[in-house]
Amino acid sequence: MKKSIKTLLSLTLVFGMLGCGSNAGTTNTSGNSGTNSQSNGDVIEFNDVVILDDETVKVELVNFYAKDVNWTTGKRNDKYFQVKVTNKADHKFLFNVNDIYIDGEKVGIIMEDGNSGPAAGKSSTFSYDIYYDTKPNPKELESLDKLYGVEGTIEICHYDKAGEKLTGCNEKDFSLKKALDGNSASSESEKQSGDSITENHEKYNSIIALLEGNTWVFNGGSDTILNYASFKDGKAELGQVSFDGNGLHEGDVNSCDYFVSDDSIQINLVSGDVMEVPYTAENASIKLGNGEYFTLDEVDAGLQGYWQYKKEVFGLKSIGNLYVNNGTLKSESASEAINGNKGDYYYYGPDSGTYKIGIGCFDTNLFKGSNWFYNIIDGKPVVLNYETVCYPSNGFPGENGYHF
């Protein structure tokens, strides 16, 4: 799931109201912190309390603490929880904690340290000020013990390996109570039987052999986005292409570990989520999904025949046709004549060429063949002209067969 990056403006405004912090206040705790914690009046320390651990990040609870803060509305003894974040990925990310509740009540939160995550393979700590966001004057929590009820969402927004471009975000819910009880959120990959990837692939070597060297395409969430997955050298490669009025655009390609079970493939995504793909294998062949994944051969078979589009650009109507026929393409088109009489049009074609199916496109020598694409829409391969979805037709109208 991709998400837009949340702005830090609100945090900047809140920090602008803060003065300086003094030493911690005199908050008392009841000490219900369990065997993995240690209380010292205004600080409760924790050891080995894992909030989240997946392929991308490990988040551990460090402590609860209190600190006097001078707000414009007066002095408060605010309560904080601190976490240690370890970057297990090969790229940097932004780390956010959002939507905090205590015992079902929404509370305010301020990140004290900024949200730029640690470098790959490194760790850093982040502190969060939690308070009752009452209007007009926010109030402090009664005690550090209230923090045991904190639950919310961890959001990680990923950069590409060069660290220059954000590639998307993912969220996971968390609960400090569950973490303290030992029920931390974990990735599906840690729920495997304990086998390593190598052991798993050896166990399912016959399935791996059917996957290796093949590519499957599937819809990327809209008519103009196509995803693909290929398997090579024990890795799953996931990528995406998109189409618009400027043509085809290639997205990043990520190499991911994957596990195989008796009926599905679990791919560990760069985001930390797990993509589970059901499969069936018989007679030395394998089929992914339930009708939504297509091999390139299956795409080719589904695109055979005549396709037509109708569009209007700058007030001028145009109609185009494509004939896909077992390795050959043929096209023709017509468009309204500029400043012509009613019904006048320009005719183009016919043009012919050969092709092979590529990822989202035709690898072809057809004149203007780079204008034609395909996607999987409603469970079927469908031709596109730029971003315009085409529909099946009965044949070419021919030079004199168009009407505007």
Distance CA 305, CA 326 (A): 9
- Could you say which DSSP state residue 362 is in? E
Q: How many helices (H) and strands (E) does the chain have?
A: 5, 32
DSSP string of 96-133, one letter each residue: EEEEEEETTEE-EEEESS-SBPPPTT-EEEEEEEEEE-
Q: In terms of domains, do 230 and 267 share one?
A: yes
Q: In terms of domains, do 40 and 158 share one?
A: yes
Distance CA 220, CA 240 (A): 7
DSSP string of 247-306, one letter each residue: EEEE---EEE-EEE-SSEEEEE-TTS-EEEEEEEEETTEEEETTTT-EEHHHHHHHH-EE
What are the backbone angles phi and psi of residue 7, rounded to the nearest 5°? -70, 150
Last residue of a domain, one of 162, 186, 210: 186
Q: In terms of domains, do 32 and 157 share one?
A: yes
Is residue 249 a part of any domain in this protein?
no
Query: Looking at the predicted structure, is the pLDDT value of residue 231 above 80?
Result: yes
CB atoms within 10 A of CB 110: 17
Q: Domain count of the chain?
A: 3
Distance CA 364, CA 145 (A): 67
Distance CA 347, CA 272 (A): 52
Q: pLDDT tens-digit profile of 30-77?
A: 333 334 555 555 899 998 899 998 888 999 999 999 999 888 878 899
Q: In terms of domains, do 104 and 205 share one?
A: no
Encoded tokens for 395: 């044949």
Rounded mean pLDDT, 297-309:
98
What is the sign of the dihedral through the CA atoms of 395, 399, 403 and 404?
A: positive
Query: Looking at the predicted structure, is the pLDDT value of residue 14 above 50?
Result: no
How far from chain centre, in Å, is Cα 161? Answer: 15
Q: In terms of domains, do 169 and 231 share one?
A: no
Distance CA 10, CA 115 (A): 13
**Residue 350 preceded by cis peptide, ω within 30:** yes
What are the backbone angles phi and psi of residue 209, rounded to the nearest 5°? -65, -35
Is residue 277 a part of any domain in this protein?
yes
Encoded tokens for 316: 């001028």
Q: In terms of domains, do 168 and 74 share one?
A: yes
Higher pLDDT: 136 or 215? It is: 215
The least confident of 10-19, 146-155, 366-375 is 10-19
CATH assignment at residue 154: 2.60.40
What's the CA angle centered on 323, arms 317 and 325, to 5 degrees?
170
Confidence of residue 185 (pLDDT cuts 50, 70, 90): very low
Confidence of residue 202 (pLDDT cuts 50, 70, 90): very high
Is residue 155 a part of any domain in this protein?
yes
Instruction: List Cβ neighbours of 224 (8 Å cut-off, separation of 6 or more).
Output: 242, 243, 244, 375, 384, 387
The mean pLDDT of the chain is 85
Q: In terms of domains, do 85 and 53 share one?
A: yes
Q: In terms of domains, do 81 and 176 share one?
A: yes
Is residue 35 a part of any domain in this protein?
yes
Q: pLDDT tens-digit profile of 76-111?
A: 999 999 999 999 988 888 898 999 999 889 999 988
Is residue 398 a part of any domain in this protein?
no
Q: In terms of domains, do 168 and 195 share one?
A: no
Strand partners for 123: 86
pTM exceeds 0.85 for this model: no
Q: In terms of domains, do 282 and 315 share one?
A: no
Write out the residue range of the structural domain in which residue 262 sits: 190-236+255-292
How far from chain centre, in Å, is Cα 114? Answer: 23
Contact 352, 328 (CB under 8 A): yes
What is the sign of the dihedral through the CA atoms of 243, 245, 247 and 249?
A: negative
Q: In terms of domains, do 204 and 353 share one?
A: no
- The rounded percent of the chain whose pLDDT value lies above 70 is 86
Query: Looking at the predicted structure, is the pLDDT value of residue 126 above 70?
Result: yes
Confidence of residue 398 (pLDDT cuts 50, 70, 90): very high
Q: In terms of domains, do 206 and 349 share one?
A: no
Pairing of strands 50-53, 185-186: parallel
